Structure 1
Amino acid sequence: MPELAILYEHPLWFEPLFAALDAHGIDHVRIPVGDHAFDPAASPPPAPVIFNRVAMSSFLREPEHPLYYSMALLDHWRGQGATILNGPEVMAVDSNKARQLSLLQRLGLATPRTRVVHRAADLPRAAEEIGYPLLVKANVGGSGAGIMRFDSEAELAAVVAAGEAPNSVDRVLLVQEAIPARDGVIWRIETLGGRFLYAIKVDGAGQFDLCPADACDDDRGTPIAMTAFEPPAEIVAGAERVANAMGMDVGGVEVMVDERDGTAKFYDINALSNFVARPTEVLGWDPHDRLVAWLKDRIAEAQA
């Protein structure tokens, strides 16, 4: 049996991870989730340690997406004794922006003012409580999917009346204040094993389809500008609290500094970290090496 299994959906995003595993001599199996099926009365784990890399944005690529299937599969394998990294409880929060915001609030972290609804008809009423400009977001997102900005009541009313408001695969929508981000950047704080790994500033806070990895740059023409930096200690501590509270083994937390008052607003959690594009250029080192070293420790623990 291999030491490690990687459950994944995107065919390109994890080539750097696979290359790093090969380079470090880790015996692993790669399991595409697309055509996978399992028997609840059998189907033993393919390895003692299973690393979940299924993207929340998978519903954009496959109408019959694997999000909820993957949660059931990972829970099944865990029930049979496997160690699951970024398991079903992590996916349950990763795929639910409303739950993310509730978690962030419970941890005492500032977030954008938000209302959560489950009917498009209720968007205008929720918007009255938030004020304009605002964003309407799909609760299940990925790569900025299902986000629209509205600057007036009339704009939102027209979209709702036309049946063109954002949709979410779970029928939940968020109405959220539009944060004017200082310097037009977002901060992406990456964690590994509940500890700070690195942070980058990403240009383009007014855009919605931001993704730091190579595969997300392909159709843009101009790559997104990304810069490594050392975030304030309280931001690092906040990101680590988030990772530990939700049991996220590997993942990023996104923050914007509100230009109006300088408050750092935590607004998104992303448990699918395929790391920054061109890491040696941006960071001066490759985080895959540290990820693989961490995976070796998890394998040793499972074998002990």
Structure 2
Amino acid sequence: MTDLAILYEHPAWFVPLFAALDRRGIDHVALRPDGHFDPADVSAPARVVFNRIAMSSFLRADEHPIFHAQALLDHWRRAGARIVNGPEVLAIDASKARQLSLIASLGLAIPETRVVHRIADVEAAAATLAFPLVVKVNIGGAGAGIVRYDSLEELHAAVADRTLPTSVDGVLLVQDYVPARGGTVTRIETLDRRYLYALDIAGAGTFDLCPADACQVPGAPIAMVSADPAPDLRQAAEAIARAVDFDVGGIEVMIDDRDGTPRFYDINALSNFVAKPLDVLGWDPHEKLVDYLVGLAERG
């Protein structure tokens, strides 16, 4: 049995990770979530399996692997593998509603939100909020499935025309549109439930604020700079990481320009790290990630 397997779907995001493993001569196997698995098979592909399944995979394939991967990772764990960002983490990643509930349970501020599963309930949910607001899908990625509505009339027309966003699990969030101070959000990356680094990210009229090159929207690039969040924001991100039981992941927060409140709004178990890290950070976080993975494999 090999020491390390990487379960991934996106064709480009993990090239830097594989390159870092190859540079250090670390034996590993790259696995795609395709084909089939036998639930009676008691073997695992490696001692450590690193889950890299992206929520945005539904954008690339109608037959996406999100739910299949939860069962597969749970199966491999039962077979004795140490799963990095295991099935419970993947389940949180696959539900923005659960993310917000978890964040709020820690006493942290979130955008005011209503969760619905029927289109018929969207307008009633919106009536409890102020406009502008956004409707977003429960399972999203790369900014997909988020639409801003500036009036109840505009939202009513979308409901009537059935042009609202649709989530692959049928769940929608009706959410206060938070004006981010300076048009900037902060993404705080964690490793082994501790602060790793942070980025300030500004988008040119896009909800797609993914820091990987492959995510950037043509014509609407995002600007990224290294950030140094205040200690309370770092501590909050670490508290979220512990509550989710993140091995590696990013937490996003924005400062509400209306009152200065930091509002945490997204948890990303798929942390693909920043593109061109040496230019942006001055160091490559993949090296620390590889150290972590090697440590897990050595401990068995």
Does the TM-score normalized on the shorter chain lie above 0.5?
yes
Q: CA deviation at 1:205?
A: 7.6
Q: 1:206 to 1:238 in 2, by over 3 A?
A: farther
Paired letter, 2:226 = A
User: Match for residue 22 of structure 1?
Assistant: 22
Deviations 1:160-212 (A, max 9, x none): 00011111111111000000110000100000000000000001285212210
Q: Is the contact between residue 184 and residue 206 of structure 1 (CA under 8 Å) also seen in structure 2?
A: no
Is the CA contact 1:191–1:197 (under 8 Å) kept in the aligned structure 2? Answer: yes
- Name the amino acid aligned to 2:20: A
- Please list, as runs of the form range in 1=range in 2, the aligned pairs for 1:130-149 lying within 5 A after superposition: 130-149=129-148
Given the superposition, is the C-alpha separation of residues 136 and 224 from structure 1 closer, same or farther in structure 2, using an over 3 Å criterion? Answer: same
State the partner residue of 2:257. 259
AA partner of residue 80 (structure 1): A
Stretches of structure 2 that go unaligned for 5 or more consecutive residues are none
1:186-225 equivalences in 2 (<5 Å)? 186-204=185-203, 206-217=205-216, 219-221=217-219, 223-225=221-223
Once the two structures are aligned, what percentage of the paired residues are identical? Answer: 60
Q: Which runs of 4+ in 1 moved over 3 A?
A: none
1:116 aligns with 2:115: yes
Residue number in structure 2 paired with 1:57: 56
- Alpha-carbon distance in structure 1 between the residues aligned to 2:204 and 2:235: 23
RMSD: 1.1
- State the alpha-carbon separation in 1 of the partners of residues 82 and 35 from structure 2: 19
Q: Distance in 1 between matches of 2:256 and 2:199?
A: 17
SS in 1 for 2:182: helix
SS, match of residue 225 in structure 1: strand
Alpha-carbon separation, structure 1, partners of 2:35 and 2:52 = 14
**Aligned partner of 2:24: which letter?**
H
Closer, same or farther in 2 for the Cα pair 1:206/1:265, shift >3 Å? farther
C-alpha separation in 2, matches of 1:205 and 1:80? 46
Give the deviation of 1:222 after TM superposition.
Answer: 5.8
Secondary structure of the structure 1 residue equivalent to 2:109: coil
Displacement of 1:36 after TM fit? 2.8
Cα distance, 1:278 vs structure 2: 0.7
Conserved 8 A contact 1:95-1:140: yes
Aligned partners of 2:42, 2:178: CA distance in 1, in Å? 47
Where 1:251 maps in the other structure, the secondary structure is strand
Q: What is the rounded CA distance, in whole Å, between the counterparts of 2:142 and 2:278 in structure 1?
A: 23
Shift of residue 11, structure 1, vs aligned partner: 1.1
Q: Tell me if structure 2 keeps the 8 A contact 1:186–1:205.
A: no
Q: Kindly tell me: are residues 43 and 215 of structure 1, through their superposed partners in 2, closer, same or farther at Cα, counting changes over 3 Å?
A: farther
SS class of match (2:199): strand
Q: Distance in 2 between matches of 1:221 and 1:130?
A: 32
| C-alpha deviation, 1:131, in angstroms | 1.4
2:229 to 228, 231, 235: 231
Output aligned runs, 1:1-304, within 5 Å: 1-33=1-33, 35-42=34-41, 44-204=43-203, 206-217=205-216, 219-221=217-219, 223-302=221-300
Q: How far did 1:221 drift?
A: 4.3
Would the aligned equivalents of 1:48 and 1:82 in 2 still touch at CA under 8 Å?
Answer: yes
SS for the counterpart of 2:207 is coil
Q: Which moved more, 1:203-212 or 1:291-300?
A: 203-212
Q: How many residues of Structure 1 are paired with residues of Structure 2 in the alignment? A: 300
The alpha carbon displacement at 1:143 in A equals 0.7
**AA in 1 matched with 2:251:** V
Say whether the 8 Å CA contact 2:204–2:222 is kept in structure 1: no
Helix, strand or coil at the partner of 1:129:
coil
State the TM-score, normalizing by the size of structure 1.
0.97
C-alpha separation in 1, matches of 2:287 and 2:102: 30
Tell me how far apart the structure 2 counterparts of residues 95 and 5 of structure 1 sit (CA, whole Å).
22
Once the 2 structures are TM-superposed, how far is the Cα of residue 223 of structure 1 from its aligned partner? 3.5
**Cα distance in structure 1, aligned partners of 2:219 and 2:95:** 31
Counterpart code for 1:22: D
